[in-house]
Chains A and B, each alone.
Chain A
Amino acid sequence: DAGVIQSPRHEVTEMGQEVTLRCKPISGHNSLFWYRQTMMRGLELLIYFNNNVPIDDSGMPEDRFSAKMPNASFSTLKIQPSEPRDSAVYFCASRPGRPNEKLFFGSGTQLSVL
């Protein structure tokens, strides 16, 4: 298994542009999480899905952020319009449907908004 796959690895964009981050969870995993990592705030949970359904999006900073999971093998996190303060590493993680089990993280997307 290739693990959780995220793309792109690096993204540099200008303020105001739309950014789309992509994630492919491990096959058979029913839960998918999006985290944002910054020096100041550490790892923050943005949103998570169970069986493709968003369960809790209380961590999404504002309406500029949206996430979708159209099927069990694909999820996107979109920022529109992007701002410099959105610069961070965005991690996607998945786990089997059982709670309290190991999270498998992707390699992350390093986002820089100029």
Chain B
Amino acid sequence: GENVEQHPSTLSVQEGDSAVIKCTYSDSASNYFPWYKQELGKRPQLIIDIRSNVGEKKDQRIAVTLNKTAKHFSLHITETQPEDSAVYFCAANFGNEKLTFGTGTRLTIIP
């Protein structure tokens, strides 16, 4: 089936430390893996995505790694700041068009 599992469901880190969120997916044919950030009461917004032809992608303090053999990918946020507090969703495509989301990680940055 089309399944994306995400861990942990909640994560608290001290400001300045790093945060890591992990996801696994079920379909070996999936080739697109975006991450969305949703602030309280707002819409989800894309923060970074990776395609299966690369193993890692970085954008300033955010990086995503992909292990296609193991069917898992991770989001890394370094030097966390209070504005990083939000719910983060991973996703994977199925059948090249459908985007299935993980259940979300509520990240809290402790000042």
Interface residue ranges, A against B (CB under 8 Å)? 31, 33, 35, 41-45, 48, 50, 55-56, 91, 99-100, 102-103, 105-108
Contacts and interface: CB of A to CB of B under 8 A. Distances in A.
A42 B43 contact: no
B49 A91 contact: no
Interface residues of B, number: 23
Contact of A42 (B31, B45, B51, B101): B101
Contacts of B97: 31, 48, 50, 55-56, 99
Rank and list the top 6 A-B pairs by shortest CB-CB distance, nearest first.
A100-B32, A42-B103, A105-B43, A43-B101, A99-B96, A102-B46
Contacts of A105: 43-45
21 contacts: A31-B97, A35-B101, A42-B89, A42-B102, A42-B103, A42-B104, A43-B44, A45-B99, A45-B100, A48-B98, A50-B97, A56-B95, A99-B32, A99-B96, A100-B31, A102-B46, A102-B49, A103-B36, A103-B99, A105-B43, A106-B43
Interface in B36-60: 36, 42-46, 49, 51
